[in-house]
Amino acid sequence: MDQSVACQWSYATLQYWTTFRHHLTAYSSKVAFEDFDEDGINKFIAFLRVKRGLEEKTVQKQFNSLKWFLNWAIRKGYCKEDYINRYCPKFKILEKPVIFLTKEELLRLYTYKIPTNGTEVTLTDFNGDQYTKKVQEAGALQKTRDMFCFCAFTSLRYSDMAKLKKSDVQGDHIYITTQKTNDRLPIDLNSFAKEILEKYEEENIAGGLALPVISNQKMNHYLKDLCELCGFNDAITRVCYRA
């Protein structure tokens, strides 16, 4: 707790460490610092790979968390041995392909007319086979499209877009303090970004926000449906290692 307060950890960081704790207690409900000699570290990594079925990249992140945690414990005097700093595991990690929309695809998404609820749309998958999809929650799809496109037109992260207030909009610019770097930045607004802001200008959104915010998790869910409706169906191969 003292570390989270001193470093002003965000909610996302606290969630990350909660996940690490769950892995740790699942490995052993009575785990102790002295358990993490070289053999114990090997067993913990094997547990993450085999029992938890984690991807190699995630196993590496959990190992780094263990290393940080044990070094914190060493500084505090809770842990006497530093096996963790002499242990050098190897992880098989391939970089994920960067998936993005082209300018043409972004404008297609921005101008796509979302059908009303209950409308059945005929689509084509990447194999050329046709299928139908019923549109649901058209209102949420509309808001998701506006928020995603606004991020694309302004280069804002979701976290910064979600806290943008109407008072941050000044003429042809928005002024925002980024959550990740704490930088105060002026950002030029192009015609598309202005159009989105003007759409919600008269709405009384809670907290004086400039845009109607949907949680990041739900936004990703709706975004998948939007891209499917727009016909973005290219097959992409992603290779990763497990166990």
Each of the 243 residues of the chain gets a pLDDT tens digit; together they read: 566 766 777 778 888 999 999 999 999 999 999 999 999 999 999 999 999 999 999 999 999 999 999 999 999 999 988 899 999 989 998 888 888 899 999 999 999 999 999 999 999 998 889 999 999 999 999 999 999 999 999 999 998 999 999 999 998 999 988 766 677 789 999 999 999 999 999 999 999 999 999 999 999 999 999 999 999 988 888 888 888
Tokens 């959104």 belong to which residue? 205
Q: Are residues 18 and 114 in the same domain?
A: no
Q: What is the largest CA-CA distance in the chain?
A: 65
Domain for residue 168, yes or no? yes
Measured CA angle at 109 (ends 106, 111), to 5 deg:
110
Long-range Cβ pairs for the range 220-226 (8 Å, 24+):
222/137, 222/140, 222/141, 222/144, 223/144, 223/148, 225/141, 226/109, 226/112, 226/114, 226/141, 226/144, 226/145, 226/148
Q: Which residues contact 149 (CB under 8 A, 6 or more apart)?
A: 106, 109, 110, 192, 196
**What total of structural domains would you count in the chain?**
2
Domain for residue 236, yes or no? no
pLDDT for 94 equals 85
* Cα dihedral 61, 25, 216, 169 sign: negative
* Cα dihedral 153, 159, 162, 166 sign: negative
Measured CA angle at 217 (ends 197, 233), to 5 deg:
85
Domain for residue 222, yes or no? yes
133: CATH: 1.10.443.10
pLDDT for 180 equals 67
Q: Are residues 76 and 113 in the same domain?
A: no
pLDDT for 147 equals 96
Please give the model's pTM, rounded to 2 decimal places.
Answer: 0.76
The residue among 170, 186, 189 whose CA lies nearest residue 178 is 186
pLDDT for 8 equals 74
> What is the span of the domain harbouring residue 182?
103-229
3-class secondary structure, 198:
helix
- Let me know: does 110 contact 227? Beta carbons within 8 Å: no
